[in-house]
Copies of this chain bind each other. A is one copy, B any other.
Amino acid sequence: MQKRYIFGVDMGGTTIKNGLFTVDGKLLEQWEIPTRVIENGSHILDDITETIMKKAATNNIKIDDVEGIGIGIPGPVGEDGTVYCCVNVGWGIFNIADELYKRTGVCVRADNDANIATLGELWKGAGSGCSNIVMITIGTGVGGGIVTNGKILHGYKGVAGEIGHMIVVDNETVKCSCGRCGCLQQYSSATGIVKGAKQMLAEGNADSVLRKCENLTAKDVCNAAIFGDKIGMQVMDRACWLLGKALAQISCIVTPEVFVIGGGLSKAGMFLVDSIQKYYQEYVFHASSDVGFVLAELGNDAGIYGAAKLFIE
């Protein structure tokens, strides 16, 4: 008999987001639990099992009626469910699908968090109706997910979509967290934007509203740029130039129907999209000049949708 429910789980470094779905894709309920990173994250799978079992019981759902648990992980995941390393929560290499199945008795599919967010946006968000999308998440870093022909592109060992680590500036001397110099996320992530603004403020005496900000954020820099502040504009212009150029290169390689822009910085809305797209058009190969640019629509819920989608054809 056809089972009726799916759980979608999106694991972050601070909280674990959970969704209870019907097998035809309706979100019935969503909730969060904290991520217990103590003792190398060794309690996390038990916590997820407990919260799922409780939610099932509260809703009078028999575990036999659960089709599967989809889960997104903040690190590379192999197609068989092997987690290769998950720095944020202290995990080493193990098979999360097997381990969570042992605890719950339910079939488990796992994937990288950026990938499932992309799949979520394709299914129920900004990419709906498309089969080929690339999602760029601009937050602490610059992350990416690629869906081609409706399927997540994993690449060898699950490391496809590392858009933030494309080297886009030559002769950089400051190192990225990955150890190399000149990665996209050094300039175009929220962190990179703040760094860039601080550097520019320190190097010159130009008037800027940013001098008044005590705890400078990327949002401040973005707002300053929107209101014509010179330093704000210069920093955002560089961030968007490098993003537009990198996306044009991505278009030469995988050619999506749309780019979906998400992450904290995407709250800057069309200002950000328009600036990126302006530079994209300068660099793009003519056959990809009509690729669309849209803002992500599901916000922090993209992950639970995408995780559930792992069980929906």
Contacts and interface: CB of A to CB of B under 8 A. Distances in A.
Interface of A: 76, 132, 144, 146, 148-149, 151, 153-157, 159-163, 165-167, 178-180, 245, 248-250, 252-257, 283, 285-288, 291
A154 B287 CA distance: 13
Given A148-B148, A148-B153, A153-B148, A159 B288 contact: yes
A194 to B, nearest CB: 23
A248 B253 CA distance: 12
A167 B248 contact: yes
Contacts of A146: 253-254
Q: How many monomers of this protein are in the complex? A: 2
Given A76-B287, A283-B167, A285-B165, A255 B180 contact: no
A152 B163 CA distance: 21
Contacts of A257: 156
Nearest to A153: B148
A256 B155 contact: yes
Contact of A165 (B156, B161, B252): B252
B253 A250 contact: yes
Contacts of A167: 245, 248-249, 283
Contacts of A180: 283, 285
A98 B146 CA distance: 32
Contacts of A252: 161-163, 165-166
Given A155-B148, A245-B167, A254 B160 contact: yes
B255 A160 contact: yes
A12 B77 CA distance: 41
| Max count, chain B CB within 10 A of own CB: residue among A76, A255, A283, A291 | A255
A297 to B, nearest CB: 20
A156 B256 contact: yes
Contacts of A148: 148, 153-155, 160
A151 B137 CA distance: 27
Contacts of A156: 132, 255-257, 288, 291
